[in-house]
Amino acid sequence: MADALAGRPAGVPRPRLTFSPSGWLLAAVMAFFVVNVVALVVSVLFNSFASSWFATPIPSGWTTRWYRFAATTFQLSDVLVVTAQVGAAVVAISLVVGAPAAYVLARRTFPFKRALLLLFLLPMLVPPITYGIPLATALYKFNLAGSLRGVILANLVPALPFVILVLTPFIEQIDENVERAARMCGASTWRVFSRVLAPLCIPGLLAAGLMVLVRVLAMFELTFLTAGPGDQTLVVALYYSVFAAGIRPAQAIDAMAVVYMLTTFVPLLIALRFVNPTQMVVRLKREAAA
Amino acid sequence: MLSRTPAGRWRLTERLAALGVDRVVLLALPAAAVIGLLFIYPFLYGLGLSFQPRQGGGILANYLGFFNDGYERSTISKTLRLALPAALLNVAVSVPIAHKLRQPVRGKRLLTTVLILPVTLGTVLVAQGLIRYFGPAGWFNQALVALGLVDAPLSLTNNYIGVFASLIITGFPLSMLLILGHASGIDPDVERAAATLGAGPTRRFWTVSFPLMLPGITIALVLAFVAAFAVFPSAVMVGNPSGSTRVISIAAYQAAFERFDYSMASTIAMIMAAVELAVIGVVLGARSRLYRGATSGGKG
């Protein structure tokens, strides 16, 4: 489809990058970055299986005992259950609440529409730690923080606007005549939604849900500020494992990091089947250009 | 059908319908209520709380206390010293690379997939990885020593360098993908037209591509700065959280969860938001003095 948009006949291969001297410099910068990121991830992976690893290129021996150690010391199964609960709840609530709002923004023009759009954009422009501290304070005031409910509520703040911004352009490209036809045939609003729009929206809902899940799994600040001792998600437990009192072997912490990476990669890889990586970061270009 | 009430006035629902407000628009209400209750209200609550100091002493006591205490005040400059260079570097390196990759080329999908990894992993994991990888016995130092670039391992963690590196690793892919996403939407015919008229590559870049890329660059710079300014986990994990990398978010966290002074914590959060907004204002202000216009030809 990208090829068709670029006006290239099917079957003609994409052009190769041609390198000028400045192009080589850019490629070198890019390669240096990618090599370091990959090496960083691999060194965490190696260390988690290392019986010991000092200043040598590879560890002196291999073992899986750090995973068992991490599972018992860091209560990994409890943490994984909490992470799954938080992820599922945030995805479900943000889709159920966000999809109707995205529909309204995609189909209707009404007074104060720009103000409503701004309301949904604001939480993406303010970093979580900045609004997280007043949010945690307010949630503590109503006895909501320090519990699973508080973690879920706090994580809705970045998730909901993200769902709305992903789904709005998706709904815009669904032909409105399909809805009109359904109404002509006597379908009520609810039936139009449940029988016509929802099935057409499934790819968009799936992509939005997966991207929100990836974000919730990696959302450190809000969970950190609102979680009590029993409802840490994996990323917060990872942070505490570095700082908790007592000496923990670095390999056990890296074992936990590997578990975290795996839980993040699974939804990410599924999501990448539906969306382009450039769409996974904030989609602000349309609004910003206006 | 429009109908009138006995008094001869349009029903309220009909007047609203004429403006485009009907029952369907109400579907946006739950989402607006969630953001209102969980974002707008806490923000206003925090703002109010910041003017009610725990120790008393007038409504501005917290703000005066923050700015009169050199240790607390210095967190602003420490944060800016990390966030501004990191954001500028991330964006400056992203622009030429995104420009090179703006058209469909082989390997682009793979490269963007690799770039999305550090963004999704998040700062906690990157910091955790840096502790090993950048540490004295890590691969980075081993490579430097093996290549003969340094005699002894450099100290790259527990200081400014460690935090700066974590900001580059998570921030560069973010700015790169934002600018690339925007640049891919620019009509390539515009640049071809410039080439037809005899403009060389350098001139095409500075007078055609760069001005068209500016909206994307501006947003990337704003978001890169905001993300770097809010650095928290990596400043603690690979920084020196009581010294050179005691950033403003650490000060706010300590006020709230170590001293339980929620009023002071809200004050610091408000100061953080104000500094962010000031920098965003400067960036957008500078942007508005430059070219504004369509990025995708006039074919419609």
Q: Stretch A109-116: mean pLDDT, rounded? A: 87
Instruction: Indicate whether A138 and A34 sit together in one domain.
Output: no
Interface of B with A in 152-171 (CB under 8 A): 153, 169
CATH number where A86 lies = 1.10.3720.10
Q: What is the DSSP letter of A174?
A: S
Residues making up chain A, counted from first to last: 290
Domain residues for A27?
A: 15-63
Tell me if B237 sits within 8 A of B170, measured CB to CB.
no
Can you tell me the distance from the alpha carbon of B10 to that of B16, in angstroms, rounded to the nearest whole number? 10
Picking from B216, B205, B221, B218, the residue whose alpha carbon sits closest to that of residue B183 is B216
Q: Which residues of A fall within a CB distance of 8 Å from B184?
A: 278
* Interchain pair A238, B125: CB under 8 A: yes
- CA B253 distance to own-chain centroid: 20
Its pTM stands at 0.83
Contact status, residue B167 vs residue B234, Cβ threshold 8 Å: yes
Chain B residue with CA closest to A214: the answer is B120
Q: Is the pLDDT of residue A152 over 90?
A: yes
**How far A66 CA sits from the closest chain B CA (Å)?**
16
Contact A120 B253 (CB under 8 A): no
**Nearest-by-CA chain B residue for A110:** B20
The tokens describing B34, both together, are 């969630």
Asked which of A63, A84, A119 is the last residue of a domain, the reply is: A63
Question: Does A257 fall in a domain?
Answer: yes
In a domain, residue A160? The reply is yes
Residue A93 shares a structural domain with residue A140 = yes
Domain boundary among A27, A46, A63: A63
Pair (A85, A48) in one structural domain:
no
- Local structure of B5: helix, strand or coil: coil
pLDDT score for B44: 93
* Number of other residues whose CB lies within 10 A of the CB of residue A198: 12
Quick one: pLDDT at residue A3? 42
Q: Residue A150 has what pLDDT? A: 92
Task: Look at B230 and A189 and tell me if their CB atoms are within 8 Å.
Answer: no
Q: Is the pLDDT of residue A273 over 90?
A: no
A34 and A85 in a common domain: no
pLDDT, mean over chain A = 84
A161 and A52 assigned to the same domain: no
Q: Are residues A140 and A276 in the same domain?
A: yes
The count of domains in chain A is 2
Task: State whether residue A258 is helix, strand or coil.
Answer: helix
| A2, part of any domain | no
Q: To the nearest whole percent, how much of chain A has pLDDT over 70?
A: 87
| Same domain for A159 and A83 | yes
Residue A254 located in a structural domain: yes
* CA gap A201, A2 in Å, rounded: 22
Check CB contact of B251 with chain A, cutoff 8 Å. Answer: no
Torsion of the alpha carbons at A119, A124, A126 and A131, rounded to the nearest 10: 80
Q: Test B177 with A160 for CB contact under 8 angstroms.
A: no
CB proximity under 8 Å: B 77-136 to A = 93, 96-97, 100, 103-107, 109, 111-126, 128-133, 136
Distance of alpha carbon A48 from the chain centroid: 25
Q: Looking at A24-28, B2-6, B134-138, B239-243, which range is the least confident one?
A: B2-6
Angstrom CA distances, B55 to A281, B59, B60, B69, B261, stand at 43, 11, 11, 16, 10
Cβ count within 10 A of residue B160: 18
Phi first, then psi: give them for residue B263, nearest 5 degrees. -65, -45
Cβ within 8 Å, pair A277-B40: no
Kindly state whether residue A4 falls inside one of the protein's structural domains: no
Which residues of chain A make contact with B238, given a CB cutoff of 8 A? none
pLDDT at residue B39 is higher than 90: yes
**B60-110: per-residue pLDDT in tens?**
888 988 998 888 899 999 999 999 999 999 999 999 988 888 877 777 888
Q: Which long-range contacts link B63-66 to residues 24+ away (Cβ below 8 Å)?
A: B63/B267, B63/B271, B65/B264, B66/B264, B66/B267, B66/B268, B66/B271
Closest to B228 (Cα-Cα) out of A127, A164, A140 = A127
Q: What angle do CA B197, B200, B204 make, to 5 degrees?
A: 80
The pLDDT, as a whole number, for residue A287 is: 40
On whether both A48 and A170 belong to a single domain, the answer is no
* Closest B-chain CA to A250: B132
> What is the token pair recorded at B268?
């610091």
- Rounded to the nearest angstrom, the minimum Cα separation between B4 and chain A is 23
Q: Would the CB atoms of A135 and B178 count as touching at under 8 Å?
A: no
The DSSP call for residue B300 is -
- In angstroms, the separation between the Cα of residue A244 and the nearest Cα of chain B is 12
Between chains, do A40 and B169 touch, taking CB under 8 Å as contact? yes
Shortest distance, CA A40 to any CA of chain B (angstroms): 6
Can you give the residue ranges of every domain in chain B? Answer: 73-288
What average pLDDT does the segment A250-272 reach?
A: 87
Arithmetic mean of pLDDT over chain B: 85
The pLDDT score that the predictor gives to residue B293 is 54
Query: How far B38 CA lies from chain A's nearest CA (Å)?
Result: 7
Q: Which one-letter amino acid corresponds to residue B193?
A: A
The answer to whether the CB of B91 falls within 8 A of the CB of B217 is yes
Whether residue B273 lies within 8 A of chain A, CB to CB, comes out as yes
Rounded Cα gap, residues A208 and A275, in angstroms: 9
- Give burial (CB, 10 Å; 0-12/13-18/19+) of A207: buried
Q: Do B106 and A17 touch (CB under 8 A)?
A: yes
Spatial distance between the Cα atoms of A63 and A70, rounded to a whole number of angstroms: 13
Residue A23 counted as domain residue? yes
Question: Are A101 and A186 part of one and the same domain?
Answer: yes
Predicted local distance difference test score (pLDDT) of residue B299: 40
How close is the nearest chain A Cα to the Cα of B248, in Å?
A: 10
What number is the average pLDDT over the span A185-209? 87
Minimal-distance CA residue of chain B relative to A44: B129
- Give B5 to chain A, closest Cα distance, Å: 24
Any domain includes A112 = yes
Asked if residue A216 is part of any domain, the answer here is yes
Fold for the domain defined by B73-288 = MetI-like fold (1.10.3720)
CA A73, A79, A83: angle at the middle one, nearest 5? 160
Q: Tell me the per-residue pLDDT of B259-288, one tens digit each, with 9 for 90 and over.
A: 888 899 999 999 999 998 898 888 888 887
